[in-house]
Structure 1
């Protein structure tokens, strides 16, 4: 069933894009934005410094792109790409040698939404979402790339509550989703040989995207994702254990960022993310970063 739903959503999205692109009844141009920001912090201390502090260097690069087009009078396509990567280097307190760079931030997030704009209260939609990371160290000898990779196909109903300048919008959607999580794992007994393990589940998803330009120097972006699984391919492995029903709990992913542009290329950014996935942790996970750095509006 999972393969059939995945294939159906993929075919629907591709065919709709092709048909809409061939429709000449609309001349709406692309609404697009592409922002790159780089933040770095550095600290160093002399040999005579007391207090236990150590030198450090941290950098993070983010790229956020949005593209939206009314492909035809009856079809709207919106794509959001987020890429983030950062590293931290620290200095040993006694030897003063610098460590190898350690990853502090790593994200690949690509969301594609197609809505049938039928001028009704809600619009039918199909969507495809990819989430992964650039690299992950399985062992001292082995680093893998693009693992784990989470693929989500969904369809349902959506509503656009607000449409503003450029790519500003507030869009909510609710529908049925199928997820595939592809993970590279070490083969038992080998420090370098890997195998791919795939798990599947399906259920209901709710996603709300917010992108607002509050003024010419202040931008707010938020995404709230909720997911409730109804079936899970690996549930038999957990039968009879305390974790048997963890997969049934609602997953939460809430991201918020506020970017304030201080000058043409200098900006400060606050990012807060709240995650809850009972299969990973019984407690919520919170990430917060605040930094100042360079910002480039490429589009």
Structure 2
């Protein structure tokens, strides 16, 4: 690489296989709809959104040296992401994610990120081999598909001690993997209401209460979403809350990643907290309504 990227996106890069129906669905439903395969994964979704907002992200992840991996790397490059730093495994297959969505939201999903987990700290080699500045002082978007041990290592690593860490849990089932960042008081957490409750071992009725709870548990800064309900940003300066614009839900998968990317992009441009939150909510609303191309 000849230039330092605007932001590193560390985590899952895989193929999303999404089945969508215009009808409301429940467990056991069998409905007509559309099935698509698109580049996805939390780190990639955030990276693609950041590229749409004018930034130049680089991926740190694991992708197999198989046909699906070659196709995925090419798709990432076409979408404006730097793939030079990606760890290409000879023996691990490219990861996949499968979800079913109805008009009433996500019905079920399975994330197969076993190759990313198996690769471990090999994906971080560019931070030590001279490919990136050492220590790295730029922005980093990090997702919870990494193992707890690797996330704990990142939270304590001197290589990223001066980085602007932005962390998302990937799913409620992986929320507790973010606990090292609570304990170290590092980074900005992007979580939903359920994930905040899991991290705090408590139930919250509102995003504001959840943000306050996370701050009380040692989190340096937290952004808490709650579907179509108000979103809160909490930090040393206090807590602010805004309601997202109402929209018709055309898709769900990737909405949280779009919100996070829009918020990061706004803050990297120097937007104040209220403005950055407004821009992020607007971008997420456009995405959920289907107006944003992917």
Provide TM-score, normalisation by structure 2. 0.26
Which structure carries more helix by proportion? 2
Larger relative contact order (CA 8 Å, sep ≥ 6): 2
Provide TM-score, normalisation by structure 1. 0.26
Q: Which is greater in Rg?
A: 1
